[in-house]
């Protein structure tokens, strides 16, 4: 299957700082990537859809100024959590869509964010 990487895998930061998470499709080009958030023992919640070369589309209730998304190339999308606070602590997972006949989302390994 297709490979998606995510960096960093784990980050601890102080309240008020910004954190950038990178999502890369390693062996395919992805015009669309997605960002999810997952709380402990819960399902994945879609935060936003990232389209290469255009603005991201955010789900209802997700603050676009808080979670900045940039999809500058066909293999890279970034999520920046601005002015992070303890309530932003979570597991963030990205996925990349392969497109084509067997259109499937493949997921990155996730980033564990802890805000102190």
Partner 1 sequence: AQKVTQAQTEISVVEKEDVTLDCVYETRDTTYYLFWYKQPPSGELVFLIRRNSFDEQNEISGRYSWNFQKSTSSFNFTITASQVVDSAVYFCALSEAGDYKLSFGAGTTVTVRA
Q: Which residues form the interface with partner 1 (CB under 8 A)?
A: 1, 32, 34, 42-44, 46, 49, 91, 93, 95, 97, 102-110, 112
CB of 77 to partner 1, least distance (A): 15
The contacts of residue 90 (CB under 8 Å, 6+ apart) are 37, 38, 39, 113
For residue 50, the minimal CB distance to partner 1 (Å) is 12
Structure-block tokens of residue 41: 């023992």
Q: How many residues does the chain have?
A: 116
Q: How far is the CB of 105 from partner 1 (least distance, A)?
A: 6
Nearer to partner 1, 86 or 102 (CB): 102
Ramachandran category for residue 13: left, alpha or beta (phi over 0 → left; psi -120 to 50 → alpha): beta
């Amino acid at each position: 299957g297709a490979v998606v990487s995510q960096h960093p895998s784990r980050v601890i930061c102080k309240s008020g700082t910004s954190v950038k998470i990178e999502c890369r499709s390693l062996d395919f080009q992805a015009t669309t990537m997605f960002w999810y958030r997952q709380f402990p023992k819960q399902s994945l919640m879609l935060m936003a859809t990232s389209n290469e070369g255009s603005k991201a589309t955010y789900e209802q209730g997700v603050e676009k100024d808080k979670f900045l998304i940039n999809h500058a190339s066909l293999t890279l999308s970034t999520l920046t959590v601005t002015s992070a606070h303890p309530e932003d602590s979570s597991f963030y997972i990205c996925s990349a869509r392969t497109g084509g006949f067997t259109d499937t989302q493949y997921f990155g390994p996730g980033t564990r964010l802890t805000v102190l």
